[in-house]
Amino acid sequence: MVGNVLKLARLQDGPEIFHSIQGEGVSAGVPSVFVRASLCNLHCRWCDTDYTWNWEGTPWEHERDQEPGYQKFSKDKYILNVPASEVAEQVAQFPCLQVIITGGEPLLQDKAWQEMIQCLMEKNPHYRFEVETNGTLIPSQALDEAVHQYNVSPKLENSGNKTSLRKNADALSFFAQSPKAWFKFVITKEDDLTEVEELITQHALPQNRILLMPEGRDEQSLQRRRLWLVDLCRDRNYRYSDRLHIQLWGSKRGV
């Protein structure tokens, strides 16, 4: 398996690969190397990586449309094609064996991740890989065997995606049955809980691997929502996730 190319998000002159601390989900606080895939099959209206999918000429709406000067992105400028083996070389430069494959939607590029993972495992078999996904695509068996953890974030109505796009029963059932999967829901209002609980029931999501996280691309929105969401998590017995990277660095990329 050689010669696969990854479409990654561009950050300045190179791909978005950086060493930081995981900011959200069950691995929050763990030092990690992040590799950000470009391309997504959804178009969430509050997405903070809109430069991976909100391309010029597409009809998708985004909350930032109201911001003066906000424009859709040029694919030529924001996608970098990098051989998977070269991505592995760049990841291996960091003194860190925890790798977060994120996006966009990484599972759109299944085969190329397999090659990157294989290259890294040949360097050091103690690497650990987490995949962040929106839970609409099923990974191949080969990728599944190589991945240690899935951070699955099924999208709710508040994302603005059509139900048929954001909900794939087979994929949800795959992740529900995987002992490697944790589920993180982005919450904008208390009513979102009704939808979360329907999904848990309909797809037998494991109650003890659910996290609720406030939506917010800045500290003020997070603070408004975390105040009631923490109470809700306590009362309904869900794990709470904050967004540490927003508290620390706001919307700055690559940190």
For residue 132, the minimal CB distance to ligand SF4 (Å) is: 8
Q: x/- binding map, residues 145-164, to ligand SF4, per CB under 6 A?
A: ----------x---------
The answer to whether 9 contacts ligand SF4 (rule: CB under 6 A) is no
The answer to whether 134 contacts ligand SF4 (rule: CB under 6 A) is yes
For residue 219, the minimal CB distance to ligand SF4 (Å) is: 19
Tokens representing 110 are 């299944």
Q: Tell me, by CB under 6 A, how many residues bind ligand SF4.
A: 13
Binding residue for ligand SF4, selected from 16, 36, 38, 53, defined by CB under 6 A? 53
Binding residue for ligand SF4, selected from 27, 49, 85, 109, defined by CB under 6 A? 49
Beta-bridge mates of residue 212? 185, 240
* 3-state DSSP of 15-66: ECEEEEECCCCCCCCCEEEEEEECCCCCCCCCCCCHHHCCECCCCCCCHHHH
**Which region, judged by CB under 6 A, interacts with ligand SF4, from 47-55, 116-124, 140-148, 223-231?**
47-55
The CA–CA distances, whole Å, from 54 to 62, 65, 240 equal 8, 11, 29
The CA–CA distances, whole Å, from 108 to 3, 51, 140 equal 17, 16, 11
Q: x/- binding map, residues 55-74, to ligand SF4, per CB under 6 A?
A: --------------------
Closest CA to 166 of 192, 197, 133: 133
The answer to whether 215 contacts ligand SF4 (rule: CB under 6 A) is no
Q: Supply angle C-alpha 75, 147, 254, rounded to 5.
A: 40
Cβ(15)–Cβ(125) under 8 Å? no
Binding footprint of ligand SF4 on the chain (CB under 6 A): 40, 42-44, 47, 49, 52-53, 103-105, 134, 155
